[in-house]
Amino acid sequence: MTLRLATLADLDAVMALERRNFPTDAWSEQTMGTEIASAHNHYLVDEQGGGIVGYGGLRALPGGTDADIQTIALDAEVRGQGRGRMLLRALLDEAVVRGAKEVFLEVRADNPVAMGLYLSEGFAELGRRPRYYQPDDVDAVVMRLDLRRWASTDGAVQGEASSESTGAAQTGASDAGQEATA
């Protein structure tokens, strides 16, 4: 399990995962490329055996006090190994480094695995956006994490793997209608 910074050279592999994980509402290649290339974002890939088996992204603007988890996705074959938690924690660590005090995300209401991961890391539900994920008519659960509190616990900079089954959790922060599945 190796996490590294994503580059545009990873775009084809990331898009292959994107399309497998989010078949009804995958981001476009242009959107994903813009996300990876943006200085405001921090995208990581998870490598195994020379291939990319996962990715995740964070948006945290300079001088801002909040950040957004944009997406987390894993190949089905590597779920349940703590990789989703590892990606999430690495993104949260970067949010701390960038000075964020809170982190937001949206997750599909029909994705209890992802919601369980986020709740276990300290996220709390703020509300719901009815029928947010299209074309599936699934509600988005809006969640928030107090990053200062998280950073003062064992969550920050630990990267401890969990046996929880985490898969893909894509938020709608940068492309309305994105799916969040884990």
pLDDT tens per residue, range 79-118 = 999 999 999 999 999 999 999 999 999 999 999 999 999 9
Q: How many helices (H) and strands (E) does the chain have?
A: 5, 8
Span 41-86, pLDDT tens digits: 999 999 999 999 999 999 999 889 999 999 999 999 999 999 999 9
Active site residue 118: yes
Strands (E), 65-170: 66-74, 102-108, 124-133, 138-146, 169-170
- For residue 51, the model assigns a pLDDT of 96
pLDDT tier for residue 2 given thresholds of 50, 70 and 90: very high
Active site residue 77: no
In whole angstroms, what is the distance from residue 9 CA to residue 28 CA?
16
- For residue 3, the model assigns a pLDDT of 97
- Choice among 106, 121, 164, 179 that is catalytic: 106
- Choice among 118, 133, 164, 179 that is catalytic: 118
